[in-house]
Every structure is written in C-alpha cells, then in structure tokens.
Structure 1
Amino acid sequence: MSSLRKTLRAVAVAVVSATLLAPAVPARAEPSPAELTRRIEKSSTELEKVVEAYNKLREEIKTNQAAVARLQTRIGPLEQETERSRADVGELAVTAYKTGSNLTAADALLRPGGADTLLERIGMLDQLTRQRQEKISTFTGNQRKLIGQKTQLEVTLGRQAVQAREMTAAKKRIERDLAGLYELRRQAYGSATEKPAPRPDAANDAPAISGRAGVAVRYAYGAIGKPYVWAADGPNGYDCSGLTSAAWRAAGKSLPHNTRMQWGAVAHIGRGELRPGDLVFYSGLGHVALYVGGGQVIDAPSAGRNVLKRGMNLMPIQGYGRVR
C-alpha cells in the first residue's frame, strides 16, 4: 500500500473516531404546553398594561381637545372685547387732544364762576375721571385675559403634540408585542385567536336586575363571545376597560376608557357589598371586569381571546367599585 493511501486511511479513521467520541449536541427542545401557557399569560399581562397606558393617553388627549375647543371659543369674543376697549381708549385720547378737555382740579378751582358752577365743574371732572379710568381698566383687564387664554392655549396645544408622539410610539410597541403574543398562541393552540362566538340571545341569560345596573349587566352578557380588541369599546370587540365603559354607557353613565381612571371615578366598596353592575379591579389596576352576581364576572380577558363569564378570583384583586 502506498504511503499516500495509508495517510488518507489514517485521516478517515481519525475523523470517524472523533465523530463517534464527540459529545452529542442536544437537540433544542420545543417548549412544553405549560411553558407556552406561562409565556402567554406573562405576555398578555404586560401587553394589557401597555394597552391601558395607551387608553389613558387617549383619554387625556380627548380632555385636552375639549380644553382647546373651550379656549378657542373664549378667545374669539375676548379679542372682540379687547379691540372695542382699545378703540374706546384711543377715542378718549383723541378727544382730549382735540378739545383740550384734560380738565384738572386746578382748572376747576381757578376758572371764574360761582359756587354752583364750581361744584358742577368738580362733579363733571369726577365723572370724566371715573369714565376714563373704567375704560382704561376694561381695556387692561381684557388684554390681560386675552394674553392669559392664548398662553393657556399654546401650552395645551404643545402638550397635545407631545401626547400625539407618545401615542404613535405606544401603538408601534403594542403592534410589535401583539405579534409576539399571537406567535406564542399559534405554537400553543394552532391559532393566534379564539374563534369569535357571539350568542345573539346571550343578553337573555342575564339575571333580572332592575335599574341602570341591570342595563349594564345585560349589555355585558350580550358581549360574551365577542373578541378582545385592544383600545376598542364595542360593539364588535372590546378590551377590558372598553367593555366596562361600554356597558355603563348603555346604562347612561360615562366612564373613562382606562382602568386606573375608572378606579378614580367609582365609589370604593368592600367585597361583602358587591352587587351586579359593580366593577372588580385587579392588582396593579391593569385589568377590570363587571360583576354579574354569584361570584362571577364578565370581562374581555386578553389579546387572542373572547369576552367570557368566569369566576371573579381570576387573579389577585385590588378592590371593588360602584358606578356613581
């Protein structure tokens, strides 16, 4: 056997031996169903916090828009009043210049005439002085108000611009996080979202409750099976605070579309006082549900899921609230 052939055989044997003796590289294990579920729950909780922050920002923008509208409504008439008072002051100055009517107390005393004439002059002087002071004061006051309102408008518009940028950034983050969550759900369940299954007669399942609370509860029953849609408040989809605000809006009560703001708007009650229509808030104020009696709530759980009725102890509870 030639030396070249011997060398090649030795190399081949060495490679095979090395392959056989090398430690095996374990194949990457697929996450277990339990691990996927844990990741989905964690991602859902984090995403809901971001969604509620987005909802809060949107509520603040609505408040600022209303403030801008009010300010703009006030500024128009104020500008007109300021212009009128400016014209009055200008007219006073022109009249005084043309007629020499800048009457002083010394003039009134030195001019000839009897006591009656003197008193008339002093009275006229006093009246003219008051009129001038009133006109000048009105002009000054209107001008000050106008400057104040315009300054407030500029501040509010500036705040709006900042909020608009924050809103755009938050939306991008939500869409990115949502894509990750949907991918986890596809791995775990084969589908990113549950199939919407609204029941047309679901509202008929609601317990007989009188008053506005009954209207809110029936609305929530009617939403069962509709999909979670972030930042939505119906009628085709909801997030958690969107569902509670929509239910109470149907009952004639306005609630902000944000869990933390709703917590600030309701009367806080104890667990033993709970009755259908009350709100159940969860730890961290990242989630809210509508209590429907019997220890049950209806809520919009998280992205990929549908509105459902379930036991209220679904996560640690922060507190309970009654819509006033």
Structure 2
Amino acid sequence: MPSLRNLLRTMALAGMSAALIAPTAVAHAEPSPADLTRQIETSSAELERVVESYNKLTEEIRTNKAAAARLQARIGPLEQQVEQSRADVAELATTAYKNGGLRTADAFLRPGGSAALLDRLSTIDQLTRKRQESISGFTANQRRLIDEKSRLDATLARQAAQARQLAAGKRQIESDLAELYELRRQAYGAATERPAPKPAAVEAANVPAVAGDAGTAVRYAFGAVGKPYVWAADGPNGYDCSGLTSAAWRAAGRSLPHNVRMQWGVVAHIGRSELRPGDLIFYSGLGHVALYVGDGQVIDAPSAGRNVLKRGMNMMSIQGYGRVR
C-alpha cells in the first residue's frame, strides 16, 4: 500500500507540474456589435469610393459615345458629298468628250477650229479644278472628323478596360462585405436594415412646402425614403448616394451627372448660411452627397446594407455645399 500511495502521490505531483508548465490557451473574444459595425462601415466606405469611380467612368463613356455618334452623323453625309463630287467630275469629263466637241479631228473641222477647242478645254479645266477643290475640302474635313472619332474610339476602349477593372474590384469588395454581413446577421439577426412600415408614407407628412424645381426634388427624395442602397443605381427601386441626388433633380427637369465629384463640378458653390431645401451637401473629400431638406436635415442613400433615410446633416465631415443651377 505504501508503495501504491507513493506512486499515486508521484503521479498527482507530476500532473500538477504538467498543468503548471503547459501553455495557456488564448481565448479569442467574438467581435462586439460595435466592432462589426465599424468593420462594415469601413468596407462600405471603400465600396462607395469604388462605386463612385465606376459611376464617373460610366458618365464619361456615355458622353464620349454620344460625341462619337454625332461625329458619325456628320461623317456619313460628308462621305456622300465626296462621292457625288467625284462622280460629277467624271460625268463632266465624259459629257464634254461625247457632246462638247472635244474629239481632236471634229474640233479642227468645226467653226473656230483650234481656238474654239482651246476655249472649251479651258472652261472644262476650270470646272474640273473647282470640283477638285470641293473634293479636297470635303476630304480634309472628312479626314479631320475620322481622326477625331478614332481618338474617341481609343478613349472608349481604354475606359471600357478601366470599367472592367473597377467591376473586378467591386466584386472583391462585395465578397468582403458578404462575409461582414454574415457576421452582422449573427450579431443583429439581419444582414441589412429592415425598412419601417411605409416609411415614405410616414415621412410624407413631414415634406416641407418648397416651391419650384427645388420642391420637386425634395418631394422626390422624401418618396425614396426606406428604399435600399443599390450600387450604381439611380432608382426607382434603389439608389446610391449620387444616384439619389441625380434622380431627385431629374424629376425636376434638371440634369446632374451620376457621380459625386462631377456633381460638385457643375453646381454653384454656396456657404452653409445660404443653404435652402434642394441644395446638395458634399461629404468626406467628395466621397458622399446628400440632398438638404431643411431644418438641418438631409435625405441620402447612406451605404451598402442600409436604406435611404432622413437624418441630421452633420453625420460626417462636410466638404462643401452646392446649389443646382
């Protein structure tokens, strides 16, 4: 027995020693809801920058395509004019030869002889030169337009390649967001915000009485409250930030590009004290835009996973203020 007790005592001491010297397992705390929210906001802000770059390229491509179409519309008739002038010259020469007495023997036997032939040749030469000058002018203009269109085509090809690169970047960010949304689902029970019942109808009672085009834009924005953020969208079922402001002012008959920086470039810049409903407020180094609706409030499409809402205008760093011309 004593020997068994000694063995058990030895084993117990060995077990205690092993427990003391064994490495302690590190406990990893699950991210808190606040941590998850910060991660989602960071990724959403990154996605918004990519989306706005994509929007800018889309606007530029649309503008260049329209310019190329206008050039092509001018080139087509010009080509017809060139071909017609060439045909006229050929017909003039043929007619002069057949009916104008330009055959050498005929010409010498007719009254006036060689002198009359020289006069007719001189007239034909002058007409031909005028036609050739017209052809040269048409050809020069045609060449200039074709060169310009070639430059536009090269620009469009380059921008299309850039758009594909941006789309690839967007897919990567959306993949990252999908993982964060899964964490958010675990933390909050939903990956995206659930809109309140009939939010636009509820907000309709709060629409300020604003006259003119600005009033139309403000009413449109109130009608969008509760609709989801959708990247590169400008309604009617979803919006990104610049898509909402461009759609609101489009309803008022004004054209705004679907890009924050481009919108900043076309509005009249005003001071904070001059703000009135319908004006635009630009944020975060021109990374976000919202529509001012009065009383210190804006309506905007915040970020991926959220819905259009009305909130205080000071929700982030303000870059400047703009009025649609």
**Which bin holds the TM-score, normalised by the shorter protein?**
0.7 to 0.9
Structure 2 residue matching 1:199: 3-state secondary structure:
helix
Of the structure 1 ranges 65-74 and 193-202, higher mean CA displacement relative to structure 2 is found in 193-202
Aligned to 1:158: 154
**SS of the counterpart of 2:290?**
strand
1:170-212 superposed Cα distances (whole Å, 9 cap, x missing partner): 2232232123223453354332111134433533421001101
Tell me how far 1:31 sits from its aligned partner: 1.9
Aligned length: 307
Q: In 1, Cα distance between the equivalents of 2:261 and 2:12?
A: 70
Name the structure 2 match of 1:31: 31
**Paired amino acid for 1:90:** A
Deviation at 1:32, TM superposition (A): 2.5
Instruction: Report the aligned-residue RMSD.
Output: 3.3
| Equivalence for 2:143 | 147
- Offset at residue 25 of structure 1 (A): 2.5
Identical counterparts, % of pairs: 64
Structure 1 position 155, deviation (Å): 2.6
C-alpha deviation, 1:243, in angstroms: 0.4
CA distance in 1, matches of 2:60, 2:11: 74
Q: In terms of mean alpha carbon deviation, does 194-203 or 288-297 score higher? A: 194-203
Task: Report SS of the residue matched to 1:252.
Answer: coil
Q: Tell me what 2:305 maps to.
A: 304
- AA aligned to 2:29 is A
Any idea what SS the aligned residue of 1:310 has?
Answer: strand
> Alpha carbons of 1:15 and 1:87: their partners in 2 closer, same or farther (altered >3 Å)?
farther
**Partner of 1:45 in structure 2?**
45
Structure-2 residue corresponding to 1:106: none
Quick one: distance in 1 between partners of 2:101 and 2:21? Answer: 118
Q: Distance in 1 between matches of 2:22 and 2:238?
A: 56
Write the distance in 1 (CA, Å) between the matches of 2:60 and 2:216.
28
Which digits, 9 at most, give the CA deviation of each residue in 1:112-167, with x for residues without a partner?
89xxx99xx98x88865653332111101111222222232233223223322322
Change beyond 3 A, Cα 1:64–1:12:
farther
Structure 1 residues 272-324: Cα deviation after superposition (integer angstroms, max 9, x where no partner):
11100000011311100000011111000000001111111111111111001
Q: Distance in 2 between matches of 1:12 and 1:160?
A: 79
Paired residues of 1:227 and 1:304 also in contact (CA < 8 A): yes
Q: Is the 8 A contact 2:200 2:222 kept in 1?
A: no
Q: TM-score, normalised by structure 1?
A: 0.83
How many Å separate the matches in 1 of 2:155 and 2:183?
Answer: 37
Measure, in 1, the Cα distance between the counterparts of 2:182 and 2:55.
24
Q: 1:94, 1:170 → 2: CA distance?
A: 60
Structure 2 unaligned spans of 5+: 1-9, 103-111
Which amino acid is 2:190 matched to? S
User: In 2, Cα distance between the equivalents of 1:15 and 1:63?
Assistant: 78
**Partner residue, 1:59:** 59
Give matches, 1:250-261, under 5 Å: 250-261=251-262
Partners of 1:170 and 1:183 lie apart in 2 by: 24
Q: Residue 96 of structure 2 contacts residue 124 of structure 2 at CA under 8 Å; is this kept in 1?
A: no
Where does 1:7-18 land on structure 2 (aligned, <5 Å)? 17-18=17-18
SS in 2 for 1:309: strand
Q: Which amino acid aligns with 1:69?
A: A
Identify the range of structure 1 (309-318 vs 32-41) with the bigger mean alpha-carbon deviation. Answer: 32-41
User: Residue 298 of structure 1 aligns to a residue in which SS?
Assistant: strand
Letter in 2 for 1:241: S
Q: For residues 14 and 133 of structure 2, what CA distance do their matches in structure 1 show?
A: 105
Q: SS where residue 205 of structure 1 aligns?
A: coil
**Which residue of structure 2 lines up, in the alignment, with residue 191 of structure 1?**
190
Q: Which runs of 5+ in 1 are unaligned?
A: 1-9, 102-111
Q: Which of 171, 176, 179 pairs up with 1:180? A: 176
Partner of 2:241: 240
- Aligned-partner Cα distance in 2 for 1:133–1:35: 82
- 2:315 is paired with a residue whose SS is coil
Kindly indicate whether the alpha-carbon contact (under 8 Å) linking 2:57 and 2:159 is maintained by their aligned counterparts in 1.
yes
Question: Is the CA contact (8 Å cut-off) linking 1:204 and 1:218 kept in structure 2?
Answer: no
Given the two structures, how large is their TM-score scaled by the length of structure 2?
0.82
Which stretch of structure 1 is more off in the superposition, 138-147 or 150-159?
150-159
Give the AA of the match of 1:300. Answer: A
- Given that 2:33 and 2:184 are in contact with CA atoms closer than 8 Å, whether structure 1 keeps it comes out as no
Instruction: Find the residue that maps to 1:200 and give its secondary structure.
Output: helix
Structure 1 counterpart of 2:320: 319
CA distance 1:11–1:129, shift in 2 (3 Å): farther
**Preserved contact between residue 52 and residue 259 of structure 1 (Cα < 8 Å):** yes
Match of 1:200 in 2: 201
